[in-house]
Amino acid sequence: MGRPSRHVDSIVMLREDLDAIPAYVPGAHLPEAVALSSNESPLPPLPAVRDAIAGLAGAANRYPDMGAADLKAALGRHLDLPAARVAVGCGSSALLHQLIQATCRPGDEVVFAWRSFEAYPILARAVGARPVEVPLDGEHRHDLPAMADAIGEDTSLVIVCNPNNPTGTTISAHEFEDFLARVPESVTVALDEAYAEFDLSDASPSARRLIDSHPNLVGLRTFSKAYGLAGLRVGYAFGSEEIVAALDKVAIPFGVNALAQAAAPMALAEQDELRDRVSLIAAERERLAAELGAVASQANFVWLPASDLAPLEPAEIAERLAGRGVLVRAFPEGVRVTVGTREENDALLSALRAVRGGA
């Protein structure tokens, strides 16, 4: 006898809770527009990186090294860690997804600030975990005491984004260490440092400095932002061997492609050039922030709170700027503007003056 049939009104075997998961909305892209909506680097990959990519074009018929041994070794040297304490993935977002899979069962809680990176609640719900959103404080920063208060018996993971996306604000090392002291050892803490290379404050916490004294802490970084490799999708995580082994267990096989594995070590080796590029972005960031009256940022973008944009709403600002050939990212709470080249930033300033003048 075959399996009993069951009546369905739509597609069979889809999870009912998928309706509660919002779709991730990427930054808009329009031909010929000035794209300041996705926090990409406006600068192309370095020549050595481009050469490494081109050199592999003829070998695209072969699988990449599943263990990404050369990339892990390069990252281990960069971080002064054994390669066994480093995981790599298809961007830091993929590694965060793996971390949630490795730490959370259905019904567990993931605590994070809000607004923060848009993917956090999506990735939590995707594995059946419950996102717990803790409002930012009045200065658009993580409210770490409130986040510590939000940790309960069902909390498995806490995510701290520093600098925070989309506000660009930071927390201090002292604040973070006080926070860690309140987190139970059984709860994993992810310090998302996707924009850390742009943080020139010298005041922020460093996951690398803290992972040895806090085995429940894991750092997340990416080559998509400061290193300018967003199109290759490669990031890394580092922490205890136990956490890294768990990340590798739930990783998609061959997740980091061969081009990314070749390009990332080359980019990593160019630290002097990286600092020069970061300095250029930081100088433009400060100019934009001053011109726009934006929130002080330590990332490669600036934040305009909705209260400063009245009488226009953030979505109206973004729509009108798009009509003038400039793309920014609107959220209910404000508008995020990625720092571009000087010419791109000038185009943004000109378009925004016209939009505000016509409000």
30-85 pLDDT, tens digit per residue, is 778 999 999 999 999 989 899 999 999 889 999 999 999 999 999 999 999 999 99
Residue of 23, 84, 33, 82 lying closest to 319 (CA atoms): 33
Dist CA 218 CA 86 (whole Å) = 10
Comparing CA positions, the residue from 161, 268, 143 lying closest to residue 204 is 161
pLDDT in the model for residue 66 = 95
What is the pLDDT, as a whole number, of residue 179?
98
- What are 175-200's pLDDT values in tens digits? 999 999 999 999 999 999 999 999 99
Q: Do residues 187 and 158 make contact, with C-beta atoms less than 8 angstroms apart? A: yes
How many angstroms separate the Cα of 148 from the Cα of each of 101, 187, 216, 219?
22, 11, 15, 19
Local structure of 338: helix, strand or coil: strand
When the pLDDT of each residue in the chain is averaged and rounded to a whole number, the result is: 94
143 pLDDT above the threshold of 70:
yes
**What's the pLDDT at 1?**
44
CATH number for the region 26-43+270-357 comes to 3.90.1150.10
Q: Is the pLDDT score of 253 beyond 50? A: yes
Which token pair is 142? Answer: 């993580």
**Mean pLDDT, residues 9-14 taken together:** 64
Show the beta-strand stretches assigned E in the chain.
34-35, 86-89, 109-114, 130-135, 155-161, 188-192, 217-222, 235-238, 301-305, 326-327, 329-331, 334-338
> Coil, strand, or helix at residue 323?
helix
So what's the pLDDT on residue 17? 80
- 321, amino acid identity: L
> What are 340's two structure tokens?
């571009």
| pTM recorded for the entire structure | 0.93
| pLDDT computed for residue 316 by the predictor | 97
Is the pLDDT at 27 greater than 80? The verdict is no
Highest CATH level, class, for 47-268:
alpha beta
Tokens representing 343 are: 């010419």
342: left (phi over 0), alpha (psi -120 to 50) or beta: alpha
In the chain, the percentage of residues whose pLDDT exceeds 70 is 95
Tell me which DSSP letter residue 5 carries: P
Q: Which amino acid belongs to residue 93?
A: S
Pairing, β 130-135 against β 155-161: unpaired
- From residue 135, how far is each of 65, 121, 124, 166, 315 by CA, in Å? 42, 14, 17, 13, 21
Whether residue 5 is predicted with pLDDT greater than 50 in this model: the reply is no
At residue 103, what is the residue type?
T
Residue 224 burial (10 A CB sphere; 0-12, 13-18, 19+): buried
User: CA–CA separation, 223 vs 228, rounded Å?
Assistant: 7
Backbone angles phi, psi at 193, to 5 degrees: -110, 40
State in Å, rounded, how far the first CA of the chain is from the last one: 70
The more confident residue out of 319 and 29 is: 319
* Residues present in the chain in total: 359
Q: Give the Cα separation of 65 and 256 in Å (integer).
A: 8
Q: Map out the domains of the chain as residue ranges.
A: 26-43+270-357, 47-268
Report pLDDT digits (tens) over 275-313.
999 999 999 999 999 999 999 999 999 999 999 999 999
What residue type is 263 in one-letter code? A
In this prediction, residues 325-332 reach a mean pLDDT of 97
Give the model's confidence band at 4: pLDDT under 50 very low, under 70 low, under 90 confident, else very high. Answer: very low
Strands (E), 223-356: 235-238, 301-305, 326-327, 329-331, 334-338
pLDDT category of residue 16 using cuts at 50, 70 and 90: confident
